[in-house]
């Protein structure tokens, strides 16, 4: 678990896909058979991965909107909340000063 320096909440990062909000044992990319319906086809998961960055950036503008009520990707409310917290953390100027992951 990692601690968000902004909101002081714990979050996880998958060691397989490096996405926040889940662990490797629950990763739909590594275990597509465990995913929600429609994620078993590997080609269907790739477009959503390419759209994740713009959607994450859009979160900053819509952080106070009812984001969790629009759930087109079969994410749980907890997964959406985790992603929102993660995006808020990595876009926090104080977090950017830490230079985590630089030079890897």
Residue 12 lies in a domain: yes
Residue 46 lies in a domain: no
Q: What is the pLDDT of residues 59-84, one digit of tens each?
A: 444 443 444 445 456 788 888 888 88
| Two structure tokens written together for 43 | 């080609």
Instruction: Give this prediction's pTM.
Output: 0.32
Residue 66 lies in a domain: no
pLDDT exceeds cutoff 70 at 43 = no
Residues comprising the chain, all counted: 104
Residue 18 lies in a domain: yes
d(CA 79, CA 26): 11
Residue 67 lies in a domain: no
Q: What is the pLDDT of residues 4-39, one digit of tens each?
A: 666 777 777 788 887 877 888 888 888 888 777 654
What ranges make up the beta strands (E) of 1-104?
2-3, 10-11
Nearest 5°: the CA angle 92, 66, 6 is 20
Nearest 5°: the CA angle 78, 82, 86 is 175
By residue range, what is the domain housing residue 19?
Answer: 1-34+51-61+74-98
Q: Give just the sign of the alpha carbon dihedral 81, 71, 56, 61.
A: negative
> What total of structural domains would you count in the chain?
1
């Amino acid at each position: 678990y990692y601690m968000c320096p902004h909101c002081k909440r714990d979050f996880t990062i998958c060691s397989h896909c490096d996405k926040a909000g889940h662990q490797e044992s629950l990763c739909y990319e590594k275990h597509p058979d465990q995913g929600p319906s429609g994620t078993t086809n590997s080609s269907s998961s790739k477009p959503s991965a390419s759209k994740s960055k713009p959607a994450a950036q859009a979160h900053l503008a819509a952080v106070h909107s009812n984001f969790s009520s629009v759930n087109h990707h079969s994410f749980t409310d907890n997964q959406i909340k985790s992603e929102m917290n993660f995006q808020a953390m990595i876009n926090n100027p104080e977090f950017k000063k830490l230079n985590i992951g630089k030079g890897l």
